[in-house]
Amino acid sequence: MRFICLANSNKHGGRCITGIDETGQWVRPVSANQKRAISEPTRTINGTEPQIMDILEVPLHAHGPTEGCQRENRLLKDGPWKKVGHIKPSDLLKYCEDDKIILHNHLDHVRAVCFGVIPNHQWKSLQLIRNRNVTFYRDTQSKSKWRASFTDGKAEGLDLVVTDPVACTKLERSEEIGKDCILTVSLGPAWSPNKRIPRRCYKYVAGVVELPSV
């Protein structure tokens, strides 16, 4: 399958790769391991990590394990990955969606029980948005993490962990990332720290594309 890479983000010691195919449909390749993360030997092309805006060809099955909320998942087939092209940031604008609601609601998470009510074909765990007022800052609870703060189309504030390693490396180096960005927002599988708290699917900024100032 050929798709535009829109995220190569950190996930359980491996990576989560996501993108959009030529029809505008989302695809998330996943491995058969328990965490679904993609290992370095599998994803690298001639020793190089796939980059956001690369056009990739990846051998995939038509379906994959949904993890309770991710209908975009496609199980990997054996075979090499190929890079067949690269696009510009402006080429992504046509894929950006209305941000009045980002992944089902205005919160930083979706309760896992909601996916038992929503029909499977309406599940959504990936969304590409443009936001002109993104602020990045270090997480006060975990100094090793970075967060992105922005408002959605209803002026509701969102504050999400950034899992894009390229963006995090820039921030660690004190390199500025502009406020006008295209963001890949991803919804992770349900999780809870203990039995007293209902399981939630949290949202993350999995990919960051800075738009050049005009």
Cβ(147)–Cβ(136) below 8 Å: yes
| CATH code of residue 119 | 2.40.50
120 shares its domain with 189: yes
Let me know how long the chain is.
214
**Strand 200-210 with 73-75, pairing:** unpaired
Q: Which two tokens stand for residue 9?
A: 């983000």
Cβ(1)–Cβ(55) below 8 Å: no
Q: Binning pLDDT at 50, 70 and 90, where does residue 21 land?
A: very high
202 shares its domain with 131: yes
Indicate the residue among 60, 89, 118 that finishes a domain: 89
Residues 79-108 have a mean pLDDT of 95
Which residues, in sequence order, are CB contacts of 82 under 8 Å at separation 6+? 45, 56, 57, 58
Cβ(206)–Cβ(163) below 8 Å: yes
The per-residue pLDDT for 109 is 96
101 shares its domain with 143: yes
22 shares its domain with 60: yes
Q: Which two tokens stand for residue 12?
A: 């359980």
Q: How many structural domains does the chain have?
A: 2
59 shares its domain with 137: no
The answer to pTM > 0.75 is: yes
96 shares its domain with 85: no
20 shares its domain with 59: yes
Residues 167-176 have a mean pLDDT of 96
184 pLDDT exceeds 80? yes
Indicate the residue among 89, 117, 152 that finishes a domain: 89
The per-residue pLDDT for 214 is 64
Indicate the residue among 70, 89, 108 that finishes a domain: 89
Domain span at residue 182?
92-210
131 shares its domain with 180: yes
76 shares its domain with 22: yes
83 shares its domain with 106: no
Q: Binning pLDDT at 50, 70 and 90, where does residue 39 land?
A: very high
Closest of 58, 53, 51, 68 to residue 28, by C-alpha: 58
Going from the C-alpha of 91 to that of each of 3, 53, 134, 188, the distances in angstroms are: 13, 9, 20, 27
DSSP line for 45-60: BTTB---TTEEEE--B
Residue 47, Ramachandran bin (φ over 0: left; ψ between -120 and 50: alpha; else beta) = left
